[in-house]
Amino acid sequence: MSTVNFIRLDNVESLIMAKWKAKQPFSLVRVGDGELSVLEYPKIEQSRIQHVFRRAMADRSYSDDEITAVRRGLIQSINSADLVGMYDSYESNDLCVVYEDTLVAAGLEWFTGCHPAVHLFMQSTGILDRLLRKAQRVTLVTGRNVIENFQETYPHITVNQHLIPVERQYTVDGDIGGQHYPEVFTKLKSALRPDGPCHLYLIGAGLLGKEYCSVVKSRGGFAIDIGSVFDYWADVPTREGKRAIVDGKAALSGESRWPAIFLGSTPQPDGLSRTAHRGMLRPMEITIRP
């Protein structure tokens, strides 16, 4: 029996809204190629794990104790999450392929999963906006200073923001400098104090953001890892969209593949069929390694 029960992206909204309506603590985290490499530590090559940490945080060497601590927090965040965005055994990118033995070796328990681009799906199909229309209290954890635009878009919400260093590979001129780990990370975990299950935390903090989500849920809050959606909101899309980071500046690189991706946007009619989401709606499965 697989460790993961995958649901389709078009079933995500009902799960989230049911938890919100029931006023239950909640956590949604996403696991990409970097997190998968962390889960495979220490079996994975040292050069790969150092690359993952350096691109996400400061450009320095990371000790076994530091990597092990982050891995422990990641495993806890997955085990405590209500929904985990994760690739499966049929992903075309070798760094993203997930097999059952990887999850078992990491000590992961049975969990509910979906495609890891769930954050983009939620933003571009209006799920995130519909949730925010219901929320009264929101905390943003991000490296992008979007609080003013957020307040203008959602004036009914009481909002505060924790600014953190941006992932190093996506830094643009004017971003906050310094090391996210361990100093900022430790202080911020202590500062995450939700007012209750209707206190929504939107988190975009790379590797470390998964543990932030876990902390928020453990203290009674509602946490969603929206990752690079913050970049779109700040008009510096870094991964899938209309801009790329080149020498510390946002450079044009074609039109965005994602409809309705900006802050407060309304989904475009039939927009989903014209995006990369088409391939994300397939059934997903974790299998035994061949």
DSSP string for 16-83: HHHHHHTT--EEEEEE-HHHHHHHHTTTS-HHHHHHHHHHHS-SS---HHHHHHHHHHHHHHHHH-SE
**Average per-residue pLDDT for the chain:** 89
pLDDT band at 290 (very low <50, low <70, confident <90, very high): confident
Residue 198 to residues 128, 188, 275: CA-CA distances in angstroms?
15, 20, 32
Quick count: other Cβ atoms within 10 Å of Cβ 102?
18
The 10s digit of each residue's pLDDT in 19-59 is 999 999 999 999 999 999 999 999 999 999 999 999 999 89
Element (H, E) at 211: helix 206-218
Give the pLDDT band of residue 285 (cuts 50, 70, 90).
Answer: very high
Q: Which amino acid, 142?
A: T
Summarize pLDDT for 220-277 with one digit per residue, the tens: 999 999 999 998 898 876 765 444 445 555 554 555 666 667 888 777 666 566 555 5
**Average pLDDT of span 153-168:** 94
pLDDT for 277: 58
What SS3 state is found at 181?
helix
Q: What percent of the chain has pLDDT over 70?
A: 87
User: Which tokens sit at 282?
Assistant: 């397939």
Radius of gyration of the chain (CA): 18
Local confidence band at 279 (pLDDT 50, 70, 90 cut-offs) = low
Q: Phi and psi for 162 in degrees, rounded to 5?
A: -105, 110
Non-local CB neighbours of 115 within 8 Å, separated by 6+ positions: 9, 85, 87, 121, 280, 284
Instruction: Output the pLDDT for position 242.
Output: 47
pLDDT at 236: 79
**Mean pLDDT on 198-203:** 98
Return the exposure string of 176-187: e unless at least 16 CB atoms fall within 10 Å of the residue's CB, then b: eeeebbeebbee
Do 145 and 161 contact (CB within 8 A), yes or no? yes
- Distance, in Å, from the CA atom of 273 to the CA atom of 13, rounded to the nearest integer, reads 18
Residues β-bridged to residue 200? 138, 222
Residue 194 DSSP label? -
